Structure 1
Amino acid sequence: MVSSTSTSSTTKSTASATKLYKFVDIGANLLDERYTDGIYYGKKRHESDFDSVLDRAIEYGVTHIILTAGTVQESKKALTVVREYRKKLGATKNLFIGCTVGIHPTRCQQEFIDNLIVDDDNDEDDNSNNGNKKQQQAGRTADDVLNELYEIAKDGITDGCVVAIGEIGLDYDRLEFTSKTVQNEFLKRQLEIFLHNHDDGNNDVSSLPLFLHNRSVGRDLLQILQQYYPNKKEIKGVVHSFDDKLELALEFIDLGLYIGLNGCSLKTQQNLDTVKQIPLSSILLETDCPYCEIKPTHAGYQYIQTTFAGMKKVDKKFELGKQVKGRNEPCQIIQIAEVIAGVKDIPLEDVVNACYENSMKLYQFQ
């Protein structure tokens, strides 16, 4: 629940619980150690305030949050966190939490190749590399990793904790972590095992929507999806954190996908020009927290009407229940809606209601 002035006003207001809006944050990195352990850049700054972050989200109208995962361990942890939250607080808190399962494109080298190889420094007969030998751990293969992911998703869908496959896709901005070749191979292999491997019964992993990463890859992701889903009715999902050209957004939409917008989607005037023309019926809201906060230097900042009081820098005295300056949170999702409303010159309520309905439809939330 938040209050906000009209998008035509230039006066910003402080967020408060006076007007009801409802939000689904379709992408939140709440497993980040800044929330779970209070660790920033390797230094312990404060105790965990994970529950406080969720409480603030509820206070400001967030009804659903999807925790994103990008490795095998994160997928396992996400499922565990969701189940523990539901068991402990789910019955008393007006908040649905779900999670994704998948390998992020920049983590494919790590998860499917590097993690399969271990150092064996017990072989005294080997004189190369200071006596170290590289060998595959217990015969584990990339197929084993894929099968493990599939079993996590299959387990999580039984009680509705896993709600999407992701974060999967392509990222050519950070090829120092994973090459194009490896990214493409394991995007395809994840699509094959997750979405072309049908189960019997109601708990079918192939029915889950995709949570897709698309950064500086031109039409490569689109073309792979077109190849794997020639029938548009078979695909559903969202291209999250979209910051590319309008033409590409419209092609994703034509394929049957939604467009996810956060602060990184609203940085430049070109971004805003694109958002202005994306149909409201195809937009989902996300924070991608703790990243993608809308900053004063961003083109979209001019349209923000709701601010959050009491933020303090992490190197100052931490107060439990207070937001940390520079660490984005789900409660700030209203600012994304305000920028979209301002750019499109339509009422904020129209944006909030449309995006909420879009999210509920995609994820089939009750």
Structure 2
Amino acid sequence: MTRADAAGIKGMMITGGSLHESREAVDLANGLGQGVYATVGVHPTRTSQLDSYPSGAAVYLGHLEELIEQNSKPKGKGKVVAWGECGLDYDRLHFSDIDSQKRHFATQLGLAQKHGLPLFLHSRSAHEDFVSICRAAGYETEGGKASGGKGGVVHSFTGTEAEMKELVEMGFYIGLNGCSLKTDENLAVAKAVPLERLMLETDAPWCSITTTHSSNHHLKSLPADLRQLYFPDSCKKEKFVMGKTVKGRNEPCATGGVAWIVAQVKGIPIEEVASHAWKNTVELFGLSELDS
């Protein structure tokens, strides 16, 4: 948190990917105070939990709804700002099969609409089914909004430019992180994302930017003072030193590095990238306390 603050991070979202994780995310958001929020939902690789839950999927989802009712606006504390992470992941079917993912994705879209929440979305090697299910749920109108819903962001985007454009045409935002910037093709997609549909993220502790990524050479132009803020000194976890990051473990402070790379490929100042990403995020998730 100290490193994030030093790097200029003014807001964070802790992602829930299961009932257990969603509860942890909400507890953390409540404990860490202003500027920290949570999502509640079931990641596509965890939908098998819904099928195997002793009391049934409806009860599992009911517990998630209780979290929302207790911790979202207007009745709760306002810490839950999105339904998710939900979607489809056909790269990791050993966790949850296609049928399970599709059924429970559609259900979760309905619950997001019921509670008037925007979506935090995941799509891996499943674009056609992903779009089809979203359209069937009504997410194809202007702004990506369905009845009662508030649009959403397809986070950690690694798809093609054509896929990105279709999602943007549906009104969704595109979230970019280190995994979104691995290859030359990824960088071309990042360049093409409209600023009014851009969001920035780290997906910490995952999706760090490594020396093997095509994006890494753009960091050579990053000023030394910013490099130290965005990518502080690290150590191996076996030799942990207080005050240093753990090697290979991503952190929110690296968001600035993502912004720098996006700015470089677009050929615009980092301030312009950050300004649009900030505005988009505050508006989609209704983060009124940060809108100042």
The answer to whether the aligner puts 1:115 opposite 2:30 as a matched pair is no
Q: What is the CA-CA distance between 1:115 and the residue it aligns to?
A: 3.2
Q: What is the CA-CA distance between 1:231 and the residue it aligns to?
A: 3.5
Taking CA–CA contacts closer than 8 Å with sequence separation of 6 or more, which of the two structures ends up with the larger relative contact order?
Answer: 1
Partner of 2:26: 79
1:359 partner letter: T
Partner of 2:82: 164
The more displaced of 214-223 and 160-169 is 214-223
Q: What is the CA-CA distance between 1:162 and the residue it aligns to?
A: 0.3
Residues 150 and 194, structure 1, Cα contact 8 Å, conserved in 2: no
Residues 262 and 273, structure 2, Cα contact 8 Å, conserved in 1: yes
1:141 partner letter: G
Helix, strand or coil at the partner of 1:315? helix
Partner of 1:312: 235
Residues 239 and 258, structure 1, Cα contact 8 Å, conserved in 2: yes
Separation in 2 of the partners of 1:102 and 1:270?
31
Helix, strand or coil at the partner of 2:235? coil
Separation in 2 of the partners of 1:245 and 1:214?
12
TM superposition score normalised by structure 2: 0.89
Separation in 2 of the partners of 1:106 and 1:336?
26
Partner of 1:143: 58
The answer to whether the aligner puts 1:215 opposite 2:142 as a matched pair is no
1:227 partner letter: A
Partner of 1:297: 212
Percent identity (aligned): 38
Q: What is the CA-CA distance between 1:194 and the residue it aligns to?
A: 3.0
In the comparison of the two structures, how many residue pairs are matched? 271
Q: What is the CA-CA distance between 1:193 and the residue it aligns to?
A: 2.6
For structure 1, list consecutive stretches of 5 or more residues without a partner in the other structure.
1-53, 91-95, 117-139, 198-204
Residues 259 and 270, structure 2, Cα contact 8 Å, conserved in 1: yes
Partner of 1:328: 250
Aligned counterpart in structure 2 of residue 262 of structure 1, from 165, 177, 196: 177
Partner of 1:136: none
Task: String of CA shifts for 1:328-364, please: whole Å, max 9, x gaps.
Answer: 1000111101110111111111111111111111112
Q: What is the CA-CA distance between 1:114 and the residue it aligns to?
A: 2.4
Separation in 2 of the partners of 1:75 and 1:174?
21
Partner of 1:65: 12
Separation in 1 of the partners of 2:238 and 2:37?
32
Q: What is the CA-CA distance between 1:63 and the residue it aligns to?
A: 0.5
Residues 17 and 43, structure 2, Cα contact 8 Å, conserved in 1: yes
Separation in 1 of the partners of 2:107 and 2:285?
23
Structure with the larger helix share: 2
Aligned counterpart in structure 1 of residue 160 of structure 2, from 238, 242, 245: 245
Q: How does 1:4-43 map to 2 (within 5 A)?
A: none
The answer to whether the aligner puts 1:345 opposite 2:272 as a matched pair is no
Residues 112 and 119, structure 2, Cα contact 8 Å, conserved in 1: no
2:281 partner letter: S
Q: What is the CA-CA distance between 1:310 and the residue it aligns to?
A: 2.4
Residues 39 and 83, structure 2, Cα contact 8 Å, conserved in 1: yes
Residues 45 and 92, structure 2, Cα contact 8 Å, conserved in 1: yes
Aligned-residue CA RMSD (Å): 1.3
Q: What is the CA-CA distance between 1:218 and the residue it aligns to?
A: 2.8
Separation in 2 of the partners of 1:71 and 1:266?
27
Residues 337 and 351, structure 1, Cα contact 8 Å, conserved in 2: yes
Helix, strand or coil at the partner of 2:36? strand
Task: String of CA shifts for 1:193-225, please: whole Å, max 9, x gaps.
Answer: 331x3xxxxxxx22x110000001132111111
1:363 partner letter: F
Partner of 1:106: 45
The answer to whether the aligner puts 1:357 opposite 2:282 as a matched pair is no
Partner of 2:105: 187
Separation in 1 of the partners of 2:137 and 2:40?
19
Separation in 1 of the partners of 2:167 and 2:236?
39
The answer to whether the aligner puts 1:236 opposite 2:122 as a matched pair is no
Separation in 2 of the partners of 1:142 and 1:69?
17
1:106 partner letter: T
Helix, strand or coil at the partner of 1:62? coil
Aligned counterpart in structure 1 of residue 199 of structure 2, from 284, 288, 298: 284
Separation in 1 of the partners of 2:95 and 2:246?
29
Residues 16 and 40, structure 2, Cα contact 8 Å, conserved in 1: yes
2:70 partner letter: D
